[in-house]
A and B are shown apart, each in its own frame.
Chain A
Amino acid sequence: MPVAPSLYNAAVKRPWLMRMLKPLASWYANAAGYRQMGLRADDLIVEENETVLKALGRLSPKESYDRVYRIRRATQLSLQHKLLPKSEWTKPEEDIAYLSPILEQMAIESKEKAALDTLTVLKKH
């Protein structure tokens, strides 16, 4: 599991559920507090493991630079016990997943590798 388990896919398939959960999810994301420090949800993924490090290596130079900038700014804010001015908070539309798609891709790759490593050959003759 590359990222935290999520009900998102199940909810997307059921519009009524999506309508019910959306306000709750938005409230939760804002209440989690990372947006007030200018971070994105994907900045919170723990990077101390091989898979995530490799995925970080696959980011474009611009994305990588921006990520480091956001994290350094958040560290500084944490040190000073401050929040960003409200105008600089991460807006919901800016909070896009830039790392988890790569992690999901890599999970598919490793799953495929495991499947190929353990396959059984059935001879036709």
Chain B
Amino acid sequence: MICRQALSRGSQLALRRQGAAKLAQRGFAAVASPKASYEPTTIAGVKVASRDDNGPTTRLAVVAKAGTRYEPLPGLTVGLEEYAFKSTQKRSALRITREVELLGGQLNAYHTREALVIQANFLRDDLPYFTELLAEVVSQTRYTTHEYHEEVEHVIHAKQAKLDAAAVALDAAHAVAFHTGLGAPLYPTASTPISSYLNENSVAAFAEAAYTKANIAVVADGASETGLSKWIEPFFKAVPTQSQSSLSTSASKYYGGEQRIARIAGNSLVIAFPGAALGANQPEIAVLVGLLGGESTIKWSPGFSLLSNATAAAPGATAKATNFAYSDAGLLTIQINGPAAAVRKAAEESVKALKAVAEGGISKENLVKAIAKSKFNLLSGSEVSGTGLVHAGANLIHGGQPLQVAETVKALEGVNADKLKAAAKTLLGGKASVAAVGDLHVLPFAEELGLKI
């Protein structure tokens, strides 16, 4: 007699092997395959972007239009972020944590300037559980007073204590570039007076306005479409379609200027220019970021990008170019960290390098390298999830389409030296935003660097 369990066990194993073989077959993912981009759909009134590569794990996130740009009072985004996965009407925070531990999942809540992301990473089979959990967090969190005083407050203070010169400088650069909205600090510093604005009631009111079907998007990476359409509908039913109090939005405007903040520990200088917005057709900005580079891709070497060469003369300093893309504006930044004197030297060299691009253009070899680097940035960003997930969600909640990877790659390949030169010239011709944090006796003024503000 053969016991039934033994029979079914064999078939289970066989099925699993088949799946594993399929995984192994995938091998090198084709860059231009449609799977590389998130597919937007709407399930029961909820905007959903999904991508399925048949991997064993899934990343599911609720991206809400509740970043620091949209907070009505300072600190509310941070408060809402810390309230994620706290006790809900159905279960306690402890139960949530323990259940997720048992399922081998990871929970994470973070925010960007525009979006608040509540994310769960888990094994593919647990989709129903985590869909329910995310919907519960969004619609049924209790925002209790004692959790605010016993947990949320302490975590916020601990995170404020960790803010370094680089984060402060980046916030300051955003503040002078955009004033309000995008200019709101990503994380309020310890000296920001938030205690009068931030409490459990104001956070609950903000949640009521932010967590509506119009305001959120569900982004799934590695979940089947059938699973999503089956589970999102029942669990997200409790999320209101619209709220009485809507969040204020005003279009971003670039101002530019200079800000200098004295600080004992750490030195940081941010030089920023208007960059490319999300979905804007400005591939030359992405290539310029690749050209400026800064972060070494080779071990034991500073690398050969323009900023790496600039910091070679200033040992100890690190420089990095980034384009922060938002829904209606962008900010191209060059951030330099390190000892004060080295930061000064590196800043001078960096601006010189940028001016050289604007005046003399660049060699063919450098252009090829820059395009390859920008392509890598785009693809690794969208593939290794993290940024791809947030960008897809952010695009959806702002009414755009998820990033079309294949088209964007084509656009990057079309950039030539003249376009790049023109882009650099426009940047230097306009107003820059400069933020210096640290030893102000040494750190240079924007004018000394030869920038217009």
Contact = CB atoms under 8 A, between A and B. Distances in A.
A is bound by B? yes
B145 interface: yes
Nearest to A55: B146
B88 to A, nearest CB: 14
A56 to B, nearest CB: 11
A116 B98 contact: yes
Nearest to B9: A125
Contact of B145 (A58, A109, A121, A125): A58
A109 B94 contact: yes
A113 B8 CA distance: 37
Contacts of B149: 57-58
B192 interface: no
A112 B145 contact: no
B42 interface: no
Nearest to B98: A116
Contacts of B98: 116
Contacts of A57: 146, 149-150
A60 B94 contact: no
Interface string B59-88: 000000000000000000000000000000
A68 to B, nearest CB: 18
B146 A113 contact: no
A109 B92 contact: yes
Given A57-B149, A58-B145, A60-B145, A112 B95 contact: yes
Nearest to A105: B146
Interface in B69-117: 92, 94-95, 98, 102
Nearest to B146: A58
A109 B92 CA distance: 8
A121 B95 contact: no
Interface in B1-32: 12
Contacts of A109: 92, 94
Interface residues of B, number: 10
Nearest to A117: B98
Contact of B94 (A116, A121, A125): A116
Contacts of B12: 125
Interface string B135-150: 0000000000110011
A109 B150 CA distance: 15
Nearest to A113: B94
A22 to B, nearest CB: 33
Contacts of A121: 102
A111 to B, nearest CB: 11
Contacts of B102: 121
A113 B92 CA distance: 10
Interface string A47-61: 000000000011010
Contacts of B150: 57
B122 to A, nearest CB: 16
Interface in A33-79: 57-58, 60
A114 B177 CA distance: 53
Nearest to A121: B102
A112 B94 contact: yes
Contacts of A116: 94-95, 98
A57 B94 CA distance: 20
A60 B149 CA distance: 11
Contacts of A113: 94
Contacts of B146: 57-58
Nearest to A106: B146
Most buried by A among B12, B98, B102, B149: B98
Interface string A93-118: 00000000000000001001100100
A63 to B, nearest CB: 11
A49 B114 CA distance: 46
Interface in B174-208: none
Interface in B139-171: 145-146, 149-150
For the complex of A and B, 4 pairs with smallest distance between CB atoms: A58-B146, A116-B98, A113-B94, A112-B92
12 contacts: A57-B146, A57-B149, A58-B145, A60-B145, A109-B92, A109-B94, A112-B92, A112-B94, A113-B94, A116-B94, A116-B95, A121-B102
Given A116-B95, A116-B98, A121-B102, 14 more contacts: A57-B146, A57-B149, A57-B150, A58-B145, A58-B146, A58-B149, A60-B145, A109-B94, A112-B92, A112-B94, A112-B95, A113-B94, A116-B94, A125-B12
